[in-house]
Structure 1
Amino acid sequence: MYWTIHLEGGPRRVNHAAVSVGTNVYSFGGYCTGDNYGHCKPIDCHILDTETLRWRPCLPSRLKARQQLQQQSFAEFDPHESNIPFQRYGHTVVVNGDLIYLWGGRNDNCADDTLYCFDTASGEWLDRPKVSGRIPGARDGHTAVSIDNKMYIFGGYEELTERFSNDIYVLDMTTFVWKYVTASGQPPTWRDFHSAVAYEDRMYVFGGRSDRSGPNHSQHEVYCNELMYFNTTTNTWIKPSVTNQSSSQPPPCGRRSHSSFVYQNMIYIFGGYNGLDRQHFNDLYQFDPRRQVWSLVDVRGRHRPCARRRQCCCVVGDRLYLFGGTSPYPASLCQTYALPQMIDVSLRDHSDLYVLDFKPTLKTLTILVAIDKELIRSYLPKNIQLDIEMMTRDNNVNRDRSSPNQG
């Protein structure tokens, strides 16, 4: 396991949502500090080709035609009539075949409970599915996983009730009927900005922000580090009897806005933030669901991601692609720009991409040596020269934001 690649210049996004389909990663929405999210505009989509490491924006044809017609940026966009979601953050996306379903999230004015469908084959937003049943209330900071053609929604902060949730809803992605799930067992506490992954017929939930007052938000935050799973076959919440490999290696501490992913029957947790300690993380933990054991992973690499929150992580083959998020400015930059020394005030949004290779080949390791030693490329085989170019050339899809932002 090795951090092999670090590139800049991708989409600068925080609190976005992303999934992988084939060899592509699709990233939707999110925010960028300094932009206005009080006005409705179509959500943006960026696609990462993991074979070339190039990002490109995806602009559906109807938006492209409207942009050319108006000669301005979607001034007449009506989210109530459009099949395209409005720009948002705190939403979720899941994959079912070639289709990506987006649900929830909010802009600065409101949250949404509409289901949207993106076709990766055509690069277009399809007609909004006609849903029925008990639709979950609009929210952000929830999680969603796809298991057996069903999308399971858990938690989040509900717009209408202004409360944290610990409910489960399920959408059948063949009939598009929503159902409220009456679960047995003790559910996780009310929370938002936790993480969830699908493993076999289970939804594993970790972390997130809750409150001492239960579902209400009283500014008395709680960060739990319990891992629980929901068995979708029996509709039961279960808390595994988690053990450690050694007494000196505890499980990850409580956190929110982290990332979870599954690789070869192992569940991983990366990064996040604890608001009580005002601490960001860039650690990587592994949980073995069969042995019910946590372990801290010592990952080597040329460049490692800095501590951050609200990033995205997607697995494609034997590689993890991590991008975006926000983190504190280094103390040196805070002094240069006269920023206050407060970890939750002076934050920078990231446009970077990191690649974690679970099984780096001898060729990859050799190329990394050539890069580190700055070998003269003209003496190398053409295919190696092309690989080095791909692994070191930054993207260029962002506006220039060279000065510090706050948010």
Structure 2
Amino acid sequence: MLRWTVHLEGGPRRVNHAAVAVGHRVYSFGGYCSGEDYETLRQIDVHIFNAVSLRWTKLPPVRPAIRGQAPVVPYMRYGHSTVLIDDTVFLWGGRNDTEGACNVLYAFDVNTHKWSTPRVSGTVPGARDGHSACVLGKTMYIFGGYEQLADCFSNDIHKLDTSTMTWTLICTKGNPARWRDFHSATMLGSHMYVFGGRADRFGPFHSNNEIYCNRIRVFDTRTEAWLDCPPTPVLPEGRRSHSAFGYNGELYIFGGYNARLNRHFHDLWKFNPASFTWKKIEPKGKGPCPRRRQCCCIVGDKIVLFGGTSPSPEEGLGDEFDLIDHSDLHVLDFSKYTYSQSAPAIKVPVCGW
């Protein structure tokens, strides 16, 4: 039986950040927190959660190797993506209130904690945020997002072969998924499963007629074709800014937000690609409150979920001006050895803050 086993408070307060798991550690990159200064350009911050000691640490700022020369570090941003390939975290995209969106590829070495900007070739995707990124082998796939230069939603798929550092715009076959941002894309085998996100009823340009698709779309990386998918009798509500992860060959989604319903979610759904069916899951224990723009990572048989933003309990409105940003962390345990009851919330000392 699935169970929420850990609830910690006192971590970094972050929204719209990006994270990867490296062994028993979770690396969190950037994001934002209401009330902080995002007009001043500064280095992206990196927080590390140790899933064994249950402690957070923060890496110190990078100092320039040559005096007077700025270090190679991405600027603070949100709506970006990170993936892990071997011992390197590749960070791409995202935006900042001062610089706008970015399409420079950054590489972070998890052993040395040093940043670099690999030399790339090919068709580089336009700067954007709210896209998705997932990995098959040594190739990173980027889908969708909101393109800054075109000022529209995207449904392009780009791939980066990290063995040659070559970008390719894939000329997909089949009926493509709709333009969207803040969706999820999860790789199961050689298939990329896209769910949710925000789109516009009338096309790729934003006309304030938002729609939230709740159909699964499947992209076959071998044939580079969007597949025709059968109807599903039971579906989650459409949403954006949710979390998604693959475990044991199945897809899970948690949380998110639907502006048309003015509703934040904290439900957990499982999608079985073999039967093409959804099932709502009710884990034991006390889970996270309704939220969006959180991060989640797989650490062994556990899912580590942290951060995000929720409606203020005083206001209960849920619009952009009545949200509370979270500094909590929750663990969803998939292993057969679970605690008999949910662990109480505790304050966790933060080292190197």
Q: One fold, TM greater than 0.5?
A: yes
Pairing 1:178–2:161 present: no
Partner of 2:31: 30
Displacement after TM superposition at 1:398 (Å): 10
SS in 1 for 2:223: coil
Aligned pairs (5 A) from 1:3-402: 3-59=4-60, 61-62=62-63, 82-109=71-98, 110-125=100-115, 127-244=116-233, 250-301=234-285, 303-330=286-313, 333-334=314-315, 342-344=317-319, 345-361=321-337, 364-366=338-340, 368=341, 392-396=346-350
Displacement after TM superposition at 1:39 (Å): 2.2
The one-character-per-residue Cα deviations of 1:316-350 (angstroms, maximum 9, x if unpaired) are 111000000000011xx33xxxxxx5321310000
Displacement after TM superposition at 1:392 (Å): 3.9
8 Å Cα contact 2:185/2:192 also seen in 1:
yes
Q: 1:242 to 1:49 in 2, by over 3 A?
A: farther
| CA RMSD in angstroms, aligned pairs only | 2.0
Task: Give 2:22's aligned amino acid.
Answer: V
8 Å Cα contact 1:204/1:229 also seen in 2:
yes
Task: Give 1:282's aligned amino acid.
Answer: H
Q: Structure 1 or 2: larger helix share?
A: 1
Displacement after TM superposition at 1:60 (Å): 5.5
Displacement after TM superposition at 1:240 (Å): 2.5
SS in 1 for 2:34: coil
8 Å Cα contact 1:98/1:120 also seen in 2:
yes
**Whole-Å Cα distance in 1 between the matches of residues 213 and 11 of structure 2?**
33
8 Å Cα contact 1:32/1:349 also seen in 2:
yes
Displacement after TM superposition at 1:33 (Å): 0.4
Task: Give 1:136's aligned amino acid.
Answer: P
8 Å Cα contact 2:265/2:291 also seen in 1:
yes
Displacement after TM superposition at 1:241 (Å): 1.5
Task: Give 2:38's aligned amino acid.
Answer: Y
Displacement after TM superposition at 1:222 (Å): 0.7
Q: Structure 1 or 2: larger strand share?
A: 2
The one-character-per-residue Cα deviations of 1:95-118 (angstroms, maximum 9, x if unpaired) are 101110000000013100000000
Task: Give 1:128's aligned amino acid.
Answer: T
**Whole-Å Cα distance in 2 between the matches of residues 393 and 166 of structure 1?**
42
Displacement after TM superposition at 1:122 (Å): 1.3
8 Å Cα contact 2:9/2:346 also seen in 1:
no
Q: 1:342 to 1:60 in 2, by over 3 A?
A: closer
**Whole-Å Cα distance in 2 between the matches of residues 140 and 189 of structure 1?**
16
8 Å Cα contact 1:48/1:56 also seen in 2:
yes
Q: Calculate the TM-score normalised by the size of structure 2.
A: 0.94
Show structure 2 runs of 5+ residues with no match: none
Partner of 1:383: none
SS in 2 for 1:91: strand
Structure 1 runs of 4+ aligned residues shifted over 3 Å read 395-399
Task: Give 2:350's aligned amino acid.
Answer: N
8 Å Cα contact 2:29/2:47 also seen in 1:
yes
Displacement after TM superposition at 1:148 (Å): 1.8
Show structure 1 runs of 5+ residues with no match: 70-75, 245-249, 335-340, 373-390, 400-407
The one-character-per-residue Cα deviations of 1:172-216 (angstroms, maximum 9, x if unpaired) are 101111111000011111110001111111111000000012110
8 Å Cα contact 1:94/1:101 also seen in 2:
yes
The one-character-per-residue Cα deviations of 1:256-275 (angstroms, maximum 9, x if unpaired) are 00010011111001000000
**Whole-Å Cα distance in 1 between the matches of residues 156 and 280 of structure 2?**
30
Task: Give 1:23's aligned amino acid.
Answer: H
SS in 2 for 1:267: strand
Displacement after TM superposition at 1:61 (Å): 5.0
Displacement after TM superposition at 1:123 (Å): 1.7
Task: Give 2:219's aligned amino acid.
Answer: F
8 Å Cα contact 1:60/1:123 also seen in 2:
no
SS in 2 for 1:90: strand
Displacement after TM superposition at 1:83 (Å): 1.8
